[in-house]
Amino acid sequence: MIAYFCSMIQSHRASFLQHLGQTSPFPLMLEVVDARGIFLYGPNGEQWMDLISGIGVNALGHADPDIVKAVQEQAARFMHTMVYGEYVLAPQVLLAELLAKHLPESLNCTYLLGTGTEATEMAMKLAKRYTGRRQFIAAENAYHGSTQGAASLMSPTTFTQAYRPLLPGIHHIRFNNLTDLDKITKDIAAVIIETVQGEAGVIVPHANYLQALRAKCAETGTLLILDEIQAGFGRTGNLFAFEKYGIVPDILLLGKAFGGGMPLSAVVSSREIMITLSDQPILGHITTTGGHPVSCAASVAAFNKLISENLIAQVAEKEALFRQLLIHPAIRDLRPAGLWFAIELASFDQVQKVVAHCLANGVIIDWFLFNDRSLRLAPPLIITEEQIRVACAVILGGLDNLSQASINC
């Protein structure tokens, strides 16, 4: 029976290539039949440690029993009932209340969507309506999503050149560069920026950078939109990454881990700002399945667990252990932000070799969209000390295998 089941699964590989749209000519093709805790399992008994959390999603690991229970109970009660925003649905309300409880007073109103890129799109529309302005500033090497508005914010044109024309009126500043803040004028509707840059390779803001940015936005009446789709929900050692920097954005974007493994994103702002999208015209932004009740139930369960199990308080200690273990002559730079690391090597070739070594030894790591010289690590926050030691031993083994010549190059 098991053999029959496995052969059925095996046959999915050919079909995957034939019938599913591909994002690149070289998909990883890892076949997953089960996932628990920090592990993924393949059809032939393979076990992989997921050190990237499905790109920052599975903060509580896979198949967390409380999240699964919440999903099952909500699915049995009701799933979709009406487009977002019309009916009063307990999972959405409970989630919005939780956010309001844990966020500063001015971030008290939440609009729920499905994906991170939708949150970016919606926030851009909101900023246009609230300010009456049309131009935006984004940081170089930022990633805010792949739909056309969000993609317009990208500075490297590698991924966007073929899709022009995109939105006009987008300007770029260098992350952490104080001089560039002079580009923020009264013509700019919003600055949209990641609190910690992810796809650029885990770049944390310098001391006072975000305060200076906040002050410049306030001076020019420009909204500050912080994208914490990847950085939020405990990843950096605070529930929200901006808490560390003593500032409050006008608009906060959440996604990925926020959904507890289900598709969910949010735009959080003040009621005063949010209300502008609901009138003249009405239905300024609508989504059919955004804030899906099952996703919201998963999110509430994940949120409660993150808080009750004190997982965020353990992030600093676990980060310190990674830092202590990840010492090797091939590492040019180690950039941590809580349980999120960029391990910079000398070349993309080295990165590929280490990623392949890790995969062959049961550990999944990756690189970054705009930084292919760095290894990406973003393990589930539930990772244990023992698992960190095992993971680092495998990574160090991959680094040992790099030839001395390539390390010195």
**Where on the chain is the footprint of ligand PLP (CB under 6 A)?**
55, 115-117, 120, 143-145, 194, 198, 227, 229-230, 255
DSSP states of 202-236 as a string? Answer: -BPPPTTHHHHHHHHHHHHT-EEEEE-TTTTTTTT
What is the token pair recorded at 323? 């830092």
Q: Could you tell me which residues come within 8 angstroms of residue 11 by beta carbon, excluding any fewer than 6 positions away?
A: none
The residue of the chain with the least Cβ separation from ligand PLP equals 116
Shortest Cβ distance from residue 292 to ligand PLP (Å)? 14
The answer to whether 249 and 224 are in contact (CB under 8 A) is: yes
CB-nearer residue toward ligand PLP: 153 or 315 = 153
The residue (of 314 and 371) whose beta carbon lies closer to ligand PLP is 371
Nearer to ligand PLP, 55 or 307 (CB): 55
Q: Which of 72, 60, 127, 139 is nearest to 302 (CA)?
A: 60
Closest contact distance (angstroms) between CB of 24 and ligand PLP is 15
Closest CA to 250 of 230, 272, 233, 281: 272
Least distance from C-beta 55 to ligand PLP, angstroms? 6
Single-letter amino acid, residue 210: L
Minimum CB distance to ligand PLP smaller for 115 or for 135:
115
- Minimum distance between the CB of residue 120 and ligand PLP, rounded to whole angstroms? 6
Q: Considering the complex, what minimum distance in angstroms separates the CB of residue 50 from ligand PLP?
A: 16
Burial 164-192 (b: 16+ CB within 10 A, else e): eebeeebbbbebeeeebbeebeeebbbbb
Measured from the CB atom, the residue of 143 and 175 that comes closer to ligand PLP is 143
Rounded to the nearest whole angstrom, what is the least distance from the CB of residue 198 to ligand PLP in the complex? 5
Say if CB 222 and CB 189 are below 8 A apart: yes
Residue 139 and residue 142: Cα distance in Å, rounded?
6
Please identify, using beta-carbon distances, which residue of 116 and 293 lies nearer to ligand PLP: 116
